[in-house]
Amino acid sequence: MGSHKIKDEIMKLNVLFLTFMMCLLSKVWATAVRETERYSNSVVVCGQVLDENEYLFSNPKITVYHAGAMDYLRPLPYARSIFPVILEKGNFYHKIKTNSNFIYVKIELSTKTNILKSGYLLLKAGDSLKVIVNGEKVKLSGSNPASLRFQQEFYEASLINKRGLSLLEPDHLWPLVKAVDSLADVFEPRWKSIGGEMGKLLSVEYRARANSKILFRFHQLRTRTDQAYSKALLNALLRIQHNMKRDTTSLVLDNTISYFESLWFVEKTIIELKASQEHILWTNLMAKFRTFPYPLNDRMMAYVFWKGFRGADPEQYLKIAKAETKDQKSVKLLNYFDEINSRGRSIYDFRLPDINGKYYQPKDFLGKVMVLHFWFTNCYACAELSKTLHPIIEKYRNSDKVVFLNINIDRDIEKWKSSLKGGMYSHPKEIMLYTEKMGADHPLLINYSIKAFPRIMVVGRDGKLISSDAVRP
């Protein structure tokens, strides 16, 4: 009788063990499947640089962006720039894995050779692109030659690459935007001939990028103080706002890299012309995006935080946004921002060099309050903030309890060194650090969604975050 009980117990244990192993194997299999699906697509970027000369930038490169620029949750090297290919003399070949159905490729060479100076080639996953650089000439070929030829022709004919945008008046804004739409309408039949989804994305992306470039130029001119200019500019922007389409299709919302930016730029500039204080701007911007149709409203709410929410009490607004958002992609993104920007979290473990090549990490400053100041050359607001910080830095000049880290994002190291000489962007008591040619694609900046400059972060003596976007003094 006893032996039968023992056998029964052994049988039960065997069944439990087999059940456990089957569950474990199923989880392993599911993980493998998800990993395969995550990188189920790829593109090939290859080519040859036959001649290096003065026409190439100091850091010429091809950058591949995955569609859906807001998605920080994808485990790719630099999130926004998923693969920068530095161009040097000789051959290059890269097979780039992605989980997007579409990708964008930007070719950054000199003005003379850059066929897409402010545009991006759109490729489908599975496509290949071959780039031959020979002095001033760039030749493109690939698995979809008709699409490549058309895109090259279209961008070269468009306003995106046109110069002469330096002498603009508000009255010029509306005609320029209408010209963008007119050219897009002319090319519409050819977009459709390329293919439904590809054509739709090209149409949306072109309009968005062209409008953003024009609006950015007018935004720079907005520093003029005359009331007549501001009034005329506001009237032109209101007309653009009225004519902008608010697309809610998943094709556009999941696969464009400029559509959100153009919507954000128009609404932000309109509110800037009406609001006098920065926290009012961001509050009104959030309220405006709530009126957009679903799911565009949720995506734009998330985009506000992706750009770097600069209003009063950002934690409270993030809490409100999370409570109101239903779109799952936007929810995940907001949760991500909430997690990384929470007060009391350890600072990202960065490693940055100074002008002499010495590297610094957060652990080097434990016991001190860290003030991190991000900027780039030729940024007017960055120079103004630096001027504001000078008396504060002077106050703590002899303190061993505070350290000021001056972090530059220029990709050209010589430009950075030259900018430091005049003292416009720095103070002698700051430690001058550099993001090593990664610019805004450095993991430190990506981790905290730093895309608007200047930016200040404050870290406590224990290495814990106090604010990832401190209010400017």
pLDDT single digits (tens) 346-358: 898 999 999 999 9
Q: Which residue has the tokens 């080519």?
A: 47
Q: What is the mean pLDDT of residues 16-29?
A: 54
Residue 357, SS3 per DSSP: coil
Query: Which of 164-168, 175-179, 287-291 ranks highest by mean pLDDT?
Result: 287-291
pLDDT reading at 456 higher than 70:
yes
Question: What pLDDT shows up at residue 473?
Answer: 73
What local confidence, expressed as pLDDT, does residue 297 receive? 93
Instruction: Please give the structure tokens belonging to residue 129.
Output: 């692109």
Report the DSSP beta bridge partners of residue 44.
Answer: 95, 128
The pLDDT > 90 percentage for the chain reads 22
Q: Name the strands in the sheet holding 369-375, side by side, starting at the edge strand that comes first in the sequence.
A: 431-434, 402-408, 369-375, 455-459, 465-467
Q: Are 425 and 406 in contact (CB under 8 A)?
A: yes
Q: What percent of the chain has a predicted confidence (pLDDT) above 70?
A: 74
Continuous H helices in 39-163:
145-157
* pLDDT at 201 exceeding the cut of 90: no
256 forms beta bridges with none
Which range of 75-84, 207-216, 377-386 scores highest in mean pLDDT? It is 377-386
* Amino acid 111: pLDDT: 45
Which pair of structure tokens corresponds to residue 349?
Answer: 């473990």
| Coil/strand/helix, residue 346 | strand
pLDDT: which is higher, 63 or 10: 63
Least confident of 163-177, 292-306, 329-343, 419-433: 163-177
pLDDT at 262 over 90: no
Q: Is residue 135 scored above 90 in pLDDT?
A: no
Cα 116 → chain centroid: 18
**Strand 83-86 relative to strand 121-124: parallel, antiparallel, unpaired?**
unpaired
pLDDT at 64 over 60: yes
The contacts of residue 43 (CB under 8 Å, 6+ apart) are 64, 95, 96, 98, 103, 123, 125, 126, 127, 128, 129
Question: What is the pTM (predicted TM-score) of this model?
Answer: 0.71
Query: In this structure, how many other beta carbons lie within 10 angstroms of the beta carbon of residue 248?
Result: 14
What is the average pLDDT across 37-51?
74
pLDDT for 83: 61
Query: Does 57 or 456 have the greater pLDDT score?
Result: 456
Residue 264 has pLDDT above 60, yes or no: yes
Residue 375 has pLDDT above 90, yes or no: yes
How far apart are alpha carbons 128 and 96 in whole angstroms?
A: 10
Q: What are 412-425's pLDDT values in tens digits?
A: 888 899 999 888 99
CA distance 145 to 129: 9
- Does 73 score more than 50 pLDDT? no
